[in-house]
Amino acid sequence: MDRKYYKNHGPMRIFVSYFRPHWKLFLLDILCAVIVGVIDLAFPLVSRSAMNDMLPQNLYGTFFLVMGVMAAAYALRALLYYIICYWGHTFGIRVEADIRRDLFSHMQRLSYDFYDKNRTGQLMSRLTSDLFEVTELAHHGPEDLLISLLTIVGALVVMFLIQWRLALVVSIILPILLLVVILRRKKMAAVSKAVKSKTAAINAEIESSLSGIRTAKAFANEAVECAKFNEANERFKHSKSAFHKEMGVFFGSLEFFMSVLSVAVITVGGYLVMKNRLDYVDLITFMLYITTFTSPVRKLVNFSEMFVSGFAGLGRFVDLMRTDPALADAPDASTLSHVRGEIALEHVRFSYDHDVEVLDDISVSVKPGETVAIVGPSGGGKSTLCRLVPRFYDVEEGAIRIDGTDVRDITQESLRRAIGIVQQDVFLFADTIGNNIRYGKPEATMDEVIKAAKQAEIYNDIMQMPEGFDTFVGERGTLLSGGQKQRVSIARIFLKNPPILILDEATSALDSVTEQKIQNALDKLAVGRTTLIIAHRLSTIRSASRIVVIADGKISEQGSHEDLMKKAGIYAQLQNIQNLSA
């Protein structure tokens, strides 16, 4: 289903559409539920027949035969409940898996700015706890609703056939009960939505605290983290308290009306017995139906609660699926192929959230195969500029072109496949070191992975690890040193072998000896490729044919090392400061 489907249809229709691939399991679940409802309706009628006909007429053989059939029916009912429980949950899990697949796939298409504004823990809550409740609704919802309605309607029909006056009493109380359920359900829905928001918030706090546990320990701020968590936990506790308060009112009202129903039947039934309009057998049959009636009413109420929780999770799912990526491929976007590597930035202006301008009228032209270094004071816009080239964000004014084509007219996938990025903040997946390198080219052979590791000067380190390339790197690569993580990320680029390179402080985490080795390897890799180097340490840009200095979002100067030193501008000042501190 595309995003138009999610925008043009309501949550319930979207929800039901996920049933279609698994309709056989759904049908099995519903069929079993129908048979269970029929068996529950049959027992009071069989009991009435036994007391009215079989026992008075001494039809003992028939009586025991019918009772044996009912015992067999209840054995079948038990088997059907097993099927409902096992295969019904299987159906629900499959629906949940399909919804989670589509949600995760959609989240992969969302742009950088979405993740700038949303915390990881909250998004994890959308993918886990919310969808669990949707699963419960998918499984138990239709089944409970069907059994309840079948049993209630069937019981009422039989009651009216036995004694319409007494059945009328039940019919009067029942709508009042359902009205109370509906009104309280709306209140519970609002509170349930608030609970989900608080749950997502506490998940975000937990994710943030656990991710930053090493920083917290480094600053001895465990108490601060506990205080932040406790604050979020208190908000969650109070929201749950409000939910349970509403639940208490809900179930209290339910219990009252269910008890009143039994009292009303006995009272009116007793009066009809006194008037000889009802016999004791029919009164007992009525009470059996009230007992049978009670279970589906409770199921209906449970369905109401399940619907509230599940529909709240479903609503959050649909809201996210209706979120459009900030960046989308143009309808006629072309695929970037046979890349020469020419980059042109033409009067580029950019700001985050249209707030403070980060880049102002930037124009830079990079020839195919040229290595250009971008330097300048921190916060000047260097990294932002290099995020615009692979179109992680769109320029507000101007254009960025690759081989003469505006990047907005190129598919994002082909554009990013042509660009290799080594970032300052290295991210490694919680996987083996071999798979982290292979991320640069998922179909790569082991020989290619080994070659890339050697080029990145990480091969010898890997061979000294307990499991070699199968060594687990830990969460975010915590079991590796900073230099090792950086070299693994560089190995990815060697493996990817792109025509355009962006090196964002690619050697920042390396010691001097390793930096020299990697720098030599990067120099070799840059041969014949267009390379943008973002650098604070000016010693790493000696291979650059041209240096662009960016300060306060503008190009202040550009040229070769020698030319910029003669100008005695910002670059010369940075060079002199680093020489003094070396």
Q: What is the pLDDT of residue 158?
A: 82
Placement of tokens 């044996």 in the chain? 68
530: β partners: 500
Cα separation of 515 and 173, whole Å? 82
Q: 3-321, what's its fold? A: ABC transporter transmembrane region fold (1.20.1560)
Domain covering 343-581 in this structure, CATH number? 3.40.50.300
Q: What is the pLDDT of residue 401?
A: 93
Q: Are 154 and 167 in contact (CB under 8 A)?
A: no
Q: Are 201 and 122 in contact (CB under 8 A)?
A: yes
Q: Are strands 530-534 and 500-504 parallel, antiparallel or unpaired?
A: parallel
Placement of tokens 């195969």 in the chain? 369
Q: What is the pLDDT of residue 79?
A: 93
- To 10 degrees, the CA torsion angle through 59, 64, 70, 73? -130
Q: Say how many C-beta atoms besides its own lie within 10 A of residue 244's C-beta.
A: 12
**Where is 519: in which H helix or E strand?**
helix 512-526
- Residue span(s) of the chain under CATH 1.20.1560.10 come to 3-321
Q: Are 142 and 29 in contact (CB under 8 A)?
A: yes
Report the b/e string of 266-305 with b at 16+ CB within 10 A: eebbeebeeeeebeebbbebbbbbbebbeebbbbbbebbb
pTM over cut 0.85: no
Residues across the chain: 582
Cα separation of 70 and 82, whole Å? 18
Residue spans of alpha helices (H) in 322-346: none
Give whole-number Cα distances, 32 to 152, 302, 382, in Å: 17, 19, 65
Residue type, 330: A
Give whole-number Cα distances, 319 to 120, 127, 149, 186, in Å: 17, 13, 31, 20
532: β partners: 372, 502
Q: What is the pLDDT of residue 214?
A: 60
What pLDDT, in 10s, does the model give residues 312-332? 788 888 888 888 888 888 888
Q: What is the pLDDT of residue 109?
A: 82
Q: What is the pLDDT of residue 511?
A: 63
Give whole-number Cα distances, 460 to 256, 315, 446, 455, 528, in Å: 75, 52, 16, 11, 28
- Name the CA radius of gyration of the chain, rounded: 35
262: β partners: none
All residue ranges of the chain with pLDDT < 50 are 582
Q: Are 462 and 471 in contact (CB under 8 A)?
A: yes
Cα separation of 255 and 262, whole Å? 11
Name the residue among 413, 414, 371 with its Cα closest to residue 527: 371
The tokens of 13 are what? 């229709």
- Residue span(s) of the chain under CATH 3.40.50.300 come to 343-581
